[in-house]
Amino acid sequence: MKSKIPSEEVAVKMNEWYKLIRAFEADKAEALKREIQYELEDMEENQDLLLYFSLMEFRHRIMLDKLKPMKDGDCQPPFSEMLTEIEMNQQKLTGLLEYYFYYFRGMYEFKQKNFISAISHYKRAEEKLEYVEDDIEKAEFLYKISEVYYHIKQTFFSMNYAGQALDIYKKYELYGMRRVQCKFIIAGNLMDAQQHEKALEYLECALEHAERLDDHYMIAAAYYNIGHCMYSLGDFCKAAEDFERAAAGFEAHSFQQVIQAVFSLTHIYFKTERYSDAAASYARGMKSAAEWEDEIYMTKFRLIKELYQGDGGQDSLKEYFDILESKELLADTEELLQDAAHFFHKRENYKAASYFFSRLVGVQKRLQMNNYA
């Protein structure tokens, strides 16, 4: 199966196309347009980019119209004047094209991990957001930006944008799903800031909303997130219930996320020494992971089993950590290293505890570094 062309790559070419149009490079613009058209057919789905294409096509035609007299040999004002005239007349189109230009450039820079440059371009796109007339489209921009900032731990900015998006979605009954997602992002940021009680308020509100929408995926996801909050707050019993609900929900509708919910459940059973529950849950999780061919989760399952029920030797444990770390799953590795270190510390095996703690500090540094290009 041929893999789809990533939309970022097409977007870069669209931005090039825009530059050629504004420079009145008719032949080159035409050639690039054909190339883009060809690639669009094989591109992964991206509605925004298709809209950008149609706007650009229209702008391209305006350029060609302007150029026509030249072909008749008539006198022709310089390109710079033509550009000014077109852009004055087509102020709204120009504004929209620039909005998309900066937005897609931001996405591209983000993907390249040039985060400072990505922020610059997002900010410029935001300045042009006034040309986007549709409220929902504005909210979509703010929502996507909040997601992006969440991933690079710009916590307060992410919350700010998710809050702005939420304020818009609240006005539109139809956009219940996005409201739930905004609340998930805000809660995720609050958990990063160790504000679990506040995160819980958002998550419970999200759960209630997801239930009203009767959206199976979102309901299960809400339970999963609430479970993590409860876990962090130390209420393992409630956390286990939430993870069980999440697992059941994902399972009933064949979502792959069942694996991670069962993993969290198994983890908590081990932690609270409910070994027979843990064994059953382990089998259930390994079965799911095998069905979805999820090698990573199989490693994670083996790791926690070895930690909580192994012979106390650490060789296989270290190997499992090596696998996770080599696959750059640093956040997972960090969480489990912390768990392993505390496990041995509690059991007064200080040598092992100290080993895992010092490995933890190393992974934390790599995590901070990893955020950077």
Compare residues 230 and 353 and give the one whose CB is closer to a second copy. 353
CB-nearer residue toward a second copy: 138 or 345? 345
Q: What tokens appear for 320 in the block? A: 């499992």
- Other CB atoms within 10 Å distance of the CB of residue 64: 14
Q: What is the largest CA-CA distance in the chain?
A: 91
Structure tokens at 122: 């997002």
Least spacing, CB of residue 199 vs a second copy, in Å:
11
Report phi then psi at 43, rounded to 5.
-90, 150
Closest approach of a second copy to the CB of residue 162, in Å:
10
Write out the DSSP string of 258-270. Answer: HHHHHHHHHHHHH
On whether the CB atoms of residues 16 and 61 are closer than 8 A, the answer is no
Which residue, 255 or 357, is less far from a second copy as judged by CB? 357
Among residues 121, 77, 85, the alpha carbon closest in space to that of 103 is found at 121
Contact predicate 125/154, CB 8 Å: no
Phi first, then psi, for residue 114 (nearest 5°) are -90, 80
CB nearer a second copy, residue 262 or residue 336: 336
Task: Give the Cα separation of 266 and 277 in Å (integer).
Answer: 8
Question: Which string of DSSP letters, residue by residue, matches 253-316?
Answer: TT-TTHHHHHHHHHHHHHHTT-HHHHHHHHHHHHHHHHHTT-HHHHHHHHHHHHHHHS-S--HH
CB 358, min distance to a second copy, A: 6
Between 115 and 301, whose beta carbon lies closer to a second copy? 115
Q: Please give the residue ranges that form the binding site for a second copy (CB under 8 A).
A: 115-116, 119-120, 152, 154-157, 159-160, 163, 192-195, 338, 341-342, 344-345, 348, 350-351, 353-354, 357-358, 360-361, 364-366, 368-369, 371-372
Shortest Cβ 225–a second copy spacing (Å): 18
The least CB distance from residue 90 to a second copy, in Å, is 24
CB of 49 to a second copy, least distance (A): 25
Residue 214: DSSP 8-state = T
For a second copy, give the closer residue by CB, 100 or 115.
115
Q: Cα-flanking dihedrals φ and ψ of residue 274, to 5°?
A: -90, 75
| Distance from C-alpha of 213 to C-alpha of 269, rounded to nearest angstrom | 31
CB 372, min distance to a second copy, A: 4
Residue 191 beta carbon to a second copy: minimum distance, rounded to whole angstroms: 10
- Pick between residue 154 and residue 266 the one whose CB is nearest to a second copy: 154
**What is the secondary structure of 320-360 as a DSSP string?**
HHHHHHHTT-HHHHHHHHHHHHHHHHHTT-HHHHHHHHHHH
Shortest spacing between CB 216 and a second copy, in angstroms: 32
Q: For residue 33, which of 55, 11, 14, 46 has the smallest C-alpha distance? A: 14
The candidate with the shortest Cα–Cα distance to 143, out of 162, 123, 168, is: 162
Of 153, 159, 123, 186, nearest in space to 369 by CA: 153
Nearer of residues 159 and 219 to a second copy, judged by Cβ: 159
Specify the residue, 2 or 351, whose C-beta has the smaller distance to a second copy: 351
Nearest distance from residue 210's CB to a second copy, in Å? 24
Q: Which is nearer to a second copy, 160 or 316 (CB)?
A: 160
